[in-house]
A and B are shown apart, each in its own frame.
Chain A
Amino acid sequence: NAGVMQNPRHLVRRRGQEARLRCSPMKGHSHVYWYRQLPEEGLKFMVYLQKENIIDESGMPKERFSAEFPKEGPSILRIQQVVRGDSAAYFCASSQAETGAAFFGQGTRLTVV
């Protein structure tokens, strides 16, 4: 039973380019969460999605960031016009129920040069 799968593991983008991060939840999980981890800081919640719905995006910057979880396929976190401050590790987690334990993927490490 595969865990939460994220790809790519490492992503390098130049300032102004777009970054697309993908996340496939664990089998049977329909709740997906994205978190960001900056150096010397803890994991910060960004967005919570269920299939085809954004439930809570209160932690996601209003501009340049968007997320989706389509009926078919992985969840996507999209960052447009990346800046150096977007460099971080981005983690996806999934859970089976709304209040269930969340299991994390290995993360995507985004570097903006």
Chain B
Amino acid sequence: QKEVEQDPGPLSVPEGAIVSLNCTYSNSAFQYFMWYRQYSRKGPELLMYTYSSGNKEDGRFTAQVDKSSKYISLFIRDSQPSDSATYLCAMSAVNSGYSTLTFGKGTMLLVSP
């Protein structure tokens, strides 16, 4: 079982739709959870950063973490064509005072006008 599982998609939605992106994980030591957006041939751009369980909202984006189910989600409201990209979930545990990221493979999102 991979440490982080993420459906590769593509996920195609019309403009204005609510998008739900998800990851599951197996390592209960993960405490920090992130979502990155990556456009083609660009570097990952940090969208959301959360610690432990709960919700966090930033503009059109909402991140949810359910540690009991080992499941994290990213919701995008009022999706725009400019949201078309690959979305990567990432997480880390703190070992010996530092953390490094374990990534999902990414979900490709296509938002059509």
Say yes or no: A42 contacts B49, CB within 8 Å.
no
B residues less than 8 Å from A109 (CB atoms): 41
Q: How many residues of B contact A (CB 8 A)?
A: 26
Query: Which of B14-22, B66-74, B102-110 contacts its partner?
Result: B102-110
Say yes or no: B105 contacts A102, CB within 8 Å.
no
Provide the A88-106 mask, 1 if CB < 8 A to any CB of B, else 0.
0001010000110111111
Chain B CB within 8 A of A45 CB = yes
Say yes or no: A104 contacts B103, CB within 8 Å.
no
CB-CB contacts below 8 Å: B22-41 with A:
32, 34, 36, 41
The complex places the Cα of A91 from the Cα of B99 at a distance, in Å, of: 17
The complex places the Cα of A4 from the Cα of B32 at a distance, in Å, of: 21
Provide the A17-39 mask, 1 if CB < 8 A to any CB of B, else 0.
00000000000000101010000
Q: How many residues of A contact B (CB 8 A)?
A: 27
Say yes or no: A42 contacts B46, CB within 8 Å.
no
Say yes or no: B43 contacts A42, CB within 8 Å.
no
Say yes or no: A43 contacts B101, CB within 8 Å.
yes
Chain B CB within 8 A of A48 CB = yes
Chain B CB within 8 A of A52 CB = no
Chain B CB within 8 A of A41 CB = yes
Say yes or no: B101 contacts A33, CB within 8 Å.
yes
Say yes or no: A106 contacts B99, CB within 8 Å.
no
Say yes or no: A101 contacts B44, CB within 8 Å.
no
Known: A101-B34, A104-B36. A45 touches B100 (CB 8 A): yes
Say yes or no: A45 contacts B43, CB within 8 Å.
no
CB-CB contacts below 8 Å: A30-75 with B:
31, 33, 35, 40-45, 48, 55-56, 59
Q: Can you list 29 contacts pairing A with B, beta carbon distance less than 8 Å?
A: A33-B101, A40-B105, A41-B105, A42-B4, A42-B6, A42-B88, A42-B103, A42-B104, A42-B105, A43-B90, A48-B98, A48-B100, A55-B98, A56-B100, A98-B97, A98-B98, A98-B99, A99-B94, A101-B34, A101-B46, A101-B49, A103-B46, A104-B36, A104-B46, A105-B43, A106-B42, A107-B42, A107-B43, A109-B41
| Contacts from B to A (Cβ < 8 Å) | 4, 6, 32, 34, 36, 41-46, 49, 88, 90, 92, 94, 97-106
